Amino acid sequence: MHLVVANKLYSSWSLRPWMLMRALAIPFTEETIPLRQPDSKARMLAKGPTGKCPVMIDGDVSVWESLAIIEYVAEKFPDKGVWPSDPKARAHARSASNEMHAGFQPLRQKCPMNLRARFASKDRGPEVVESLARVEALWRDARARFGEKASEPFLYGAFGAADAMFAPVVIRLDAYQLPVAADTRAYMDVVLAHPAFLAWRSDALGEPTEWNLPEYEDGETPVEVFKP
Query: Which contiguous run of DSSP H or E holds residue 126?
Result: helix 126-145
Least distance (Å) from ligand GSH to the CB of residue 20? Answer: 13
**N-to-C CA span, the chain:** 28
Q: CA quadruple 6, 9, 11, 17: dihedral positive or negative?
A: positive
Least distance (Å) from ligand GSH to the CB of residue 171? Answer: 13
Contact 116, 212 (CB under 8 A): no
**71 versus 86: smaller Cβ distance to ligand GSH:** 71
Q: How many residues bind ligand GSH (CB under 6 A)?
A: 13
Q: How far is CA 10 from CA 90, 92, 126, 168, 211, in A?
A: 29, 28, 24, 10, 10
Residue 187 DSSP SS3: helix
Least distance (Å) from ligand GSH to the CB of residue 116? Answer: 16
Interface stretch with ligand GSH, choices 48-56, 116-124, 127-135, 214-222 (CB under 6 A): 48-56
**53 versus 74: smaller Cβ distance to ligand GSH:** 53
Least distance (Å) from ligand GSH to the CB of residue 187? Answer: 22
In the region spanning residues 11 to 30, those forming contacts with ligand GSH, defined by CB under 6 A, are 11-14
CA neighbor of 162 nearest in space, from 177, 178, 146, 151 = 146
In the region spanning residues 52 to 71, those forming contacts with ligand GSH, defined by CB under 6 A, are 52-54, 65-66
CB atoms within 10 A of CB 181: 11
**67 versus 158: smaller Cβ distance to ligand GSH:** 67
**114 versus 131: smaller Cβ distance to ligand GSH:** 114
What is the binding site for ligand GSH (CB under 6 A)? 6, 11-14, 35, 41, 51-54, 65-66
